[in-house]
């Protein structure tokens, strides 16, 4: 592992130390060795030594001040020097790992995840003990099993809230993998790959094709990060020429169309992936079932350990099957990158690397081999992708957002667009800041404010700058995912406002009589307040709500519903009111203060009245169930 003490020992024991010698000693990449050298040189000036370079040979130690250097050596021998990054960040990650997992974790596993030495983790744990003091949490250790942390849920949530900001702040860039691959347009590559499969008369399942596309997206991301493979060995005799030729042609196509250079070892790895996916079709059904069984068994054990739901994710299991089989075909598992692929995994996916370690341990075939850190990183991406899918669902469930700001209107419009880019299903309401600002929290999922608000809104509020950079948008996304893991709809969404017992068909001719008749039924069935029928008729006589395309949206003068709801009347034959056709009537029965709900309803009515086909679909509905299907299609 990267440790200054061991590196200094090499310089004391050898006249010249080459990069190759250091790589063999520490078993890491060139990039990691150069970083280690840079970190050691940070101590040069004040400690009486210099690391000198001899071109094409290596490095040697020059001592300028024996007394200072001797003191430094003594210090190094007694202290584990932290060269591996921010200690506070590591302590936060360790706490997060311990709190979010049910079982014991070994110190070696934590060291592997954070890419530091065992001694560094032991030192971090001592600092961690000070951090958790006062939180009513207990660190428990068990020989041969590791450590775990136990405590009340209140204490767990309290300290997680404290440390998560630190984790997010230090790993903002790592979420870029998912952002990069989301924007990558790969339809032409997929089409070319399918054409090549046809030309080579190769049959590959749709899932296998998609698995190759995922591999290529990872490849493109690594190229964008200048993160290259240094060592991967495959059984070329086993794979054969056909997979190599196909991999070469596909690589040439990508190089020409995306202006990238794909190195030979990348093509070797791609060929092994293609061969593995092709031969996965030829696996005897008995062997395939055995592979599925071993994967599912490993996932079930992980679910039991960590209270996850991996074994229920069919897409994850299929992806793992298509990944594990080619992996088992390789002769050696030495894949090494310029920088660890784990760096591509977002802060909230710290556990993914740990889960992949556990998966290997629980998988009866994989555990026979020593996989490199980068091989484990590739495996971890499947688990990270599972989390990403779940997180995307959470973001889609955030429906009602308020932005509070005293900034310029032009900035507010930009804020609005940026926020909606993260929350695709959200309705955003902008409010100017006021000391007397009040919200009904039951209908709000998230408040983004440029100024602190009163304490009663703390759980919903995230403070933001007046201008959101791309980096801060990623940070905001991570904060919301952590803060709103249990995001849910606090007030009914539009499609939940329709009820079967207030859904009617009518063949009458008098519009106002029809409104009176069915508004009274809404009162009788407990949805509307007793003054609803009269108030609705008064409002309709003053100003009709019969719109274009035969749509009407009458509502009362008072917003005092018992149950937020919309009564629906489908006319069997169009009728006329104030020189307009009426075919579909929506009687709006909503409580006051539900600003988002009113906004949703208004948008729905506008969509229906401006779309003749939508009105036709609703008008022709033969049942309430069919009507609900059409509403969802429109919305």
Q: Which residue's entry shows tokens 């395309």?
A: 549
SS3 438: coil
Q: Does 456 score more than 90 pLDDT?
A: no
- Which pLDDT score, from 0 to 100, does residue 527 have? 93
3-state helix, strand, coil in the chain (%, to 5): 60, 15, 30
Give mean pLDDT, residues 602-623. 83
pLDDT, tens digit, 9 for 90 and up, residues 2-19? 357 778 888 888 889 988
pLDDT above 70 as % of the chain:
85
CATH 1.10.10.10 describes domain 87-170: yes
DSSP notation for 527-561: SS-TTHHHHHHHHHHHS--B-GGGEE--B-SS---
CB 529 within 8 A of CB 538: no
Residue 393 CA to residue 256 CA, distance in Å, equals 36
Better pLDDT: 272 or 231: 272
Give mean pLDDT, residues 540-548. 86
Q: What is the mean pLDDT of the chain?
A: 81
Better pLDDT: 178 or 543: 543
Q: Does 36 score more than 60 pLDDT?
A: yes
* H or E stretch at 255: helix 241-258
Q: Does 381 score more than 60 pLDDT?
A: yes
Q: Does 594 score more than 70 pLDDT?
A: no
Better pLDDT: 596 or 305: 305
Q: Does 349 score more than 70 pLDDT?
A: no
| Topology (CATH) of 494-634 | Mannitol-specific EII; Chain A (3.40.930)
- Which pLDDT score, from 0 to 100, does residue 274 have? 86
Residue 225 CB: number of other CB atoms within 10 A?
Answer: 18
Better pLDDT: 115 or 417: 417
- Which pLDDT score, from 0 to 100, does residue 409 have? 61
Please tell me the least confidently modeled range out of 145-159, 307-321, 372-386, 487-501: 487-501
Confidence category of residue 483, pLDDT binned at 50, 70, 90: low
4-78 matches 87-170 in fold: yes
Residue 205 CA to residue 115 CA, distance in Å, equals 37
Please tell me the least confidently modeled range out of 19-28, 99-108, 185-194, 360-369: 19-28
Confidence category of residue 332, pLDDT binned at 50, 70, 90: very low
Confidence category of residue 330, pLDDT binned at 50, 70, 90: low
- Domain boundaries defined on the chain: 4-78, 87-170, 181-346+372-387, 398-483, 494-634
Please tell me the least confidently modeled range out of 21-25, 56-60, 315-319: 21-25
pLDDT, tens digit, 9 for 90 and up, residues 57-88? 889 999 999 999 988 887 776 554 443 446 88
Q: Does 375 score more than 50 pLDDT?
A: yes
Highest mean pLDDT among 89-93, 166-170, 334-338: 89-93
- Which pLDDT score, from 0 to 100, does residue 181 have? 78
Give mean pLDDT, residues 292-320. 89
The domain at 4-78 falls in which architecture?
Answer: Orthogonal Bundle (1.10)
Better pLDDT: 293 or 177: 293
Of the candidates 45, 36, 43, the one whose C-alpha atom is nearest the C-alpha of residue 17 is 36
- Which pLDDT score, from 0 to 100, does residue 194 have? 94
pLDDT, tens digit, 9 for 90 and up, residues 569-593? 999 999 999 888 999 999 999 887 5
| Topology (CATH) of 398-483 | Rossmann fold (3.40.50)
DSSP notation for 4-41: HHHHHHHHHH-S-B-HHHHHHHHT--HHHHHHHHHHHH
Please tell me the least confidently modeled range out of 224-228, 244-248, 620-624: 224-228
- Which pLDDT score, from 0 to 100, does residue 19 have? 85
Confidence category of residue 425, pLDDT binned at 50, 70, 90: confident
Q: Does 252 score more than 90 pLDDT?
A: yes
- Which pLDDT score, from 0 to 100, does residue 489 have? 43
CB 247 within 8 A of CB 271: yes
Give mean pLDDT, residues 38-58. 85
How far from the centroid of its chain's Cα atoms is residue 557's Cα?
Answer: 45
């Amino acid at each position: 592992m990267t440790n200054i003490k061991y590196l200094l020992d090499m310089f004391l024991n050898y006249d010249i130390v080459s990069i190759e010698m250091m790589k063999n000693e520490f078993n890491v990449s060139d990039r990691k060795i150069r970083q280690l050298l840079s970190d050691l040189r940070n101590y040069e000036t004040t400690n009486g030594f210099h690391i000198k370079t001899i071109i094409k040979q290596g490095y040697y130690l020059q001592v300028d001040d024996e007394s200072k250097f001797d003191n430094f050596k003594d210090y190094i021998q007694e202290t584990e020097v932290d060269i591996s990054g921010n200690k506070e960040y590591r302590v936060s990650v360790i706490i997060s790992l311990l709190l979010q997992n049910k079982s014991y974790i070994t110190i070696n596993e934590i060291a592997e995840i954070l890419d530091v030495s065992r001694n560094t983790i032991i030192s971090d744990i001592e600092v961690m003990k000070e951090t958790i003091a006062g939180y009513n949490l207990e660190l428990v250790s068990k020989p041969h099993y590791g450590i775990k942390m136990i405590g009340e849920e209140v204490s767990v949530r309290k300290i997680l809230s404290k440390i998560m900001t630190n984790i997010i702040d230090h790993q903002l860039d790592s979420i870029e993998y998912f952002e990069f691959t989301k924007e990558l347009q790969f339809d032409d590559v997929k089409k070319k790959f399918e054409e090549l499969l046809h030309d080579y008369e190769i049959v590959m399942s749709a899932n296998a094709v998609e698995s190759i596309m995922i591999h290529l997206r990872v490849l493109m991301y690594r190229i964008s990060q200048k993160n290259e493979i240094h060592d991967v060995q495959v059984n070329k005799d086993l794979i054969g020429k056909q997979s190599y030729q196909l991999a070469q042609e596909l690589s040439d196509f990508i190089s020409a169309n995306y202006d990238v250079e794909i190195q030979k070892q990348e093509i070797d790895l791609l060929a092994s992936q293609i061969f593995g996916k092709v031969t996965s079709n030829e696996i005897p059904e008995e062997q395939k079932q055995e592979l599925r069984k071993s994967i599912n068994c490993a996932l079930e054990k992980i679910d039991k350990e960590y209270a996850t739901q991996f074994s229920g994710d069919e897409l994850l299991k299929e992806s793992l099957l298509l990944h594990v089989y080619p992996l088992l075909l390789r002769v050696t598992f030495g894949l090494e990158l310029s920088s660890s692929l784990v760096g591509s995994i977002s802060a909230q996916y710290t556990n993914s690397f740990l889960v992949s370690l556990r998966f290997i341990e629980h998988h009866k075939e994989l555990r026979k081999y020593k996989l490199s850190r980068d091989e484990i990183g590739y495996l971890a991406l499947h688990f990270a992708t599972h989390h990403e899918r779940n997180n995307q669902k959470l973001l889609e469930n955030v429906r009602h957002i308020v932005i509070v700001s005293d900034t310029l209107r032009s900035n507010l419009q930009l804020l609005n667009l940026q926020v909606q880019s993260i929350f695709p299903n959200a309705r955003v309401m902008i409010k100017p800041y006021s000391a007397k600002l009040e919200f009904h929290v039951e209908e709000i999922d998230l408040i983004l404010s440029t100024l602190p608000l009163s304490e009663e809104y703390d759980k919903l509020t995230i403070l933001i700058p007046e201008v959101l950079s791309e980096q801060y948008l990623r940070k905001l996304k991570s904060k919301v995912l952590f803060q709103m893991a249990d995001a849910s709809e606090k007030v009914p969404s539009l499609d939940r406002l329709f009820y079967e017992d207030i859904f009617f068909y009518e063949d009458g001719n008098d519009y106002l009589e029809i409104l009176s008749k069915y508004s009274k039924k809404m009162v009788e069935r407990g949805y509307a307040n007793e003054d609803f029928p009269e108030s609705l008729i008064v409002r309709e006589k003053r100003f009709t709500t019969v719109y274009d395309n035969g749509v009407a949206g009458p509502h009362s003068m008072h917003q005092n519903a018992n149950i937020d709801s919309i009564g629906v009347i489908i006319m069997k034959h169009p009728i006329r009111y104030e020189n307009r056709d009426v075919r579909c009537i929506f009687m709006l029965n909503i409580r006051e203060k539900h600003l988002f709900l009113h906004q949703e309803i208004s948008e729905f009515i506008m969509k229906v009245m401006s779309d003749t086909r939508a009105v036709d679909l609703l008008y022709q509905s033969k049942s309430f169930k069919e009507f609900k299907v059409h509403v969802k299609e429109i919305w």
